[in-house]
A and B are shown apart, each in its own frame.
Chain A
């Protein structure tokens, strides 16, 4: 009986590890090779804290290693274990995650896993070295002892349920949505004005903290810990559980943990001493088969428990089956200004211009340029991509950057939004110098850009894509989510309403619940515009809004862009088709080889002989 109970207990530990890693790997898309180490950090922390205080006799009897611990109760030890794992993870991730590339994290965690495991085995005076720590007293609660497998199962089951529930709650919260956004398109998250570093750090620390919690329980269960338990093999096993079960899906993780957790004992029955060799073969085969036939795991994303149980309740109300963009003016909603978010951001955004009411044309009275660009330059190796360019964007107008291939149009967008750092030049938005600000701060100040290739969050629904752009959604802050859940819930509801209105503006409300990857390219472009609109920015930079859009749908996009201007937005666009620019832009800025050659109305520009020669050859 104890044999089977032990297997079940091991599966519970795997579920806790898998669920927490899935938060990091599945939702945030960051791979950690050191999950077993954080499990171990929790185990050693709790072990050292709960070991009885050494008596003279024990100390004399033990010739090596750790003779005694702090003699704490399991309760406080658990909390400290969580804390230590969390802090160690933060310290580790800080250099990797503040950089952009996720690959660094994989390498760093792999190195950390190896080094930390070595340390556990060699730091005799702290960890007991290869001899490990023992005897750790088993925790007892309600008369059940964690030291007895059958009783431990009933103690650990609720713990596992809590861990899964916490992971699920976080994953399906606005914070989880933000993580998914990071996984899909990090640059796009920045472009809608959201910080990307803090959420990544937090989720990394959180996953490690949960692993530490499981580790502390593990130490108490076995009453003995040794470095071999927390090695790279375990890290890889947990990764395999997440992949096989299905990323960002905890039901899948549970199934994966049961599957892989019961494999070893079954093999031991069947194959005896060869069990480990068979296990490796079967893991390999399983991974290959899963990747080949079920690339998103046994239970793919989107088939979550929530969806299964609350279908309809979760989906946005699909009001009116009006599709396409014909209904732009009819639907035209109002996007009211959001009340300020208490404590959501330390960098208080400057006051925006008043609430944008899209249903009524906005009469622009302020004559000062909303954006002033001065002496902008950028050199890529030998190529002067942008050369001393200065221009203004007039409030409430559509200005287009025009020029032949390689004129530097898209580069200027990248410089304005600080995706690329300019060599020289200043950018002033509403009188404030924004030159040195990071992309997400620029978006918070009121200027956002779209991308030629859309850069939508493909595996999220249209409405989720747009919700991610709504500023000040408290639930994206994990601290607020934990302390003020009802407030966050209300704010997320508001964000959904705003997102639906923005989708209505581009005529995509009926497709709000559709996963973006399933939309046509033209519809995706419209969702991208809705996402831009939801940022509540005044200055919108559109990179090729009509390219790749079905000819039948182009008119709709044009109408939407005009609608943006009529709503008081300042629009700057890059389009290769002069014909399209002619239909949209009030003014044009003509660029060639990175330099500004002229600006004026389209007629004025096209009338200039030297511009014609540049465009069509001399």
Chain B
């Protein structure tokens, strides 16, 4: 029988970046999240895996204040997030990158990045962040004037990470960044995410269908099934499994 983690153990480094404690959420009458708990420490990539319809995206939305909590609580950096909406989240340093349409296709790449820093008032800070993003992803500088929709699938995903960085995110909620891009590019993209996390102390919640791509860069893994967390283990433990059928 699988263990169910109901309460997150205290983070090894003291204050966790994100603590999700027993949350529930509904679509109309239908409860889609039941007692979901999760913890992310700074510099940690936590992958959330599970079958289609298990509630992974809903969990991200609930954390991000995009849908009301019916139970439980979420806190960011030790601060309770009760009453936060999506704007509060972005201003406080949380970004959400949706699985589909993560960028503004009709706008230029430069405009996309500008919009990423929409909540940042200080022009100097904006410049500094833009320089950093350009340094990390030179392509986004080279093609700054082009329409974002002309980028390849993999490049669009890169841009979506750039957008999140422009907002000054310390916690990234990434919903299936591997969706619709070639396997070799997935590895590149994921390697960059790992780098970012290591160098900047960025916390990442990585929701994925592609288990094999997610495990190598993740520190810990949560498995969801039918709206519940059914297992938490280290990515190492997870990688030793021959398959994941019993968890899906």
Contacts and interface: CB of A to CB of B under 8 A. Distances in A.
B30 to A, nearest CB: 4
Interface string A501-542: 000000000000000000011001000000000000000000
Interface string B210-247: 11111000000000011110000000000000011111
Interface string B39-61: 00000000000011110000000
B209 interface: yes
Nearest to B243: A612
A336 interface: no
A543 to B, nearest CB: 12
A578 B51 CA distance: 8
A551 B228 contact: yes
A184 interface: no
A521 B54 contact: no
A551 B224 CA distance: 13
A613 B242 CA distance: 11
Contact of B34 (A546, A551, A576): A551
B145 interface: no
Nearest to B208: A617
A580 interface: yes
A141 interface: no
A617 B226 contact: no
Contact of B209 (A404, A524, A582, A613): A404
A616 B246 contact: no
Contacts of A357: none
Of listed A546, A551, A616, A618, residue having the most chain B CB within 10 A: A616
A250 B118 CA distance: 56
B248 A546 contact: no
Interface in A564-614: 576-580, 582, 606, 612-613
B228 A521 contact: no
Contacts of B210: 616-617
B31 interface: yes
Contacts of A613: 212
A548 interface: yes
Contact of B226 (A521, A577, A582, A616): A577
A405 B176 CA distance: 12
A508 to B, nearest CB: 16
B31 A616 contact: no
A617 B51 contact: no
A606 B212 CA distance: 16
Given A551-B34, A579-B246, A617 B212 contact: yes
A521 B211 contact: no
B107 interface: no
A265 B205 CA distance: 68
Contacts of A616: 210-212, 243-244
A576 to B, nearest CB: 4
Given A404-B52, A521-B30, A547-B53, A577 B212 contact: no
A606 to B, nearest CB: 5
Contact of A405 (B27, B52, B211, B225): B52
Given A547-B226, A577-B51, A615 B30 contact: no
A433 interface: no
B32 A548 contact: yes
A451 to B, nearest CB: 14
Nearest to B247: A579
B138 to A, nearest CB: 28
B213 A617 contact: yes
Given A551-B226, A577-B54, A612 B29 contact: no
A405 B208 CA distance: 12
Interface string A541-569: 00010111011001000000000000000
Interface residues of B, number: 29
Interface string B109-136: 0000000000000000000000000000
B183 interface: yes
A338 B75 CA distance: 60
Contacts of A612: 243, 245
A606 B246 CA distance: 10
A548 B26 CA distance: 9
Contacts of B183: 617-618
A521 B244 contact: no
Contacts of B54: 576-577
Which of B32, B213, B243, B245 neighbours the largest number of chain A CB atoms within 10 Å of its CB? Answer: B245
Given A547-B53, A606-B245, A580 B31 contact: no
Contact of B248 (A547, A579, A618): A579
A546 B54 CA distance: 12
B95 to A, nearest CB: 24
Contacts of A579: 51, 225, 246-248
Contact of A546 (B28, B32, B226, B228): B226
A617 B248 contact: no
Contacts of B28: 521
Contacts of B244: 616
A618 B245 CA distance: 15
A612 B244 CA distance: 8
Nearest to A409: B52
A555 to B, nearest CB: 12
Contact of A606 (B53, B178, B243): B243
A256 to B, nearest CB: 31
Nearest to A578: B248
Nearest to B212: A617
Interface string B151-184: 0000000000000000000000000001000010
A577 B248 contact: yes
A520 B29 contact: yes
A576 B31 CA distance: 17
Nearest to A606: B245
Q: Which of B183, B228, B244 has the most CB of A within 10 A?
A: B244
B29 A521 contact: yes
Interface in A188-206: none
A618 B213 CA distance: 8
A579 B228 CA distance: 13
Contact of A550 (B31, B211, B212, B214): B31
B51 A548 contact: no
Interface of A: 404-405, 520-521, 524, 544, 546-548, 550-551, 554, 576-580, 582, 606, 612-613, 615-618
Interface of B: 27-32, 34, 51-54, 178, 183, 209-214, 225-228, 243-248
24 contacts: A405-B52, A521-B28, A521-B29, A521-B31, A547-B53, A548-B30, A551-B227, A551-B228, A576-B53, A576-B54, A577-B51, A577-B53, A577-B225, A577-B226, A579-B225, A580-B226, A582-B245, A606-B243, A615-B245, A615-B248, A616-B211, A617-B210, A617-B212, A618-B212
The list of the 10 closest CB pairs from A to B, nearest first, reads: A617-B210, A617-B212, A616-B211, A548-B30, A521-B30, A576-B52, A578-B248, A576-B53, A606-B245, A576-B51
Given A577-B225, A580-B226, A616-B210, 6 more contacts: A576-B53, A579-B225, A612-B245, A617-B178, A617-B209, A618-B212
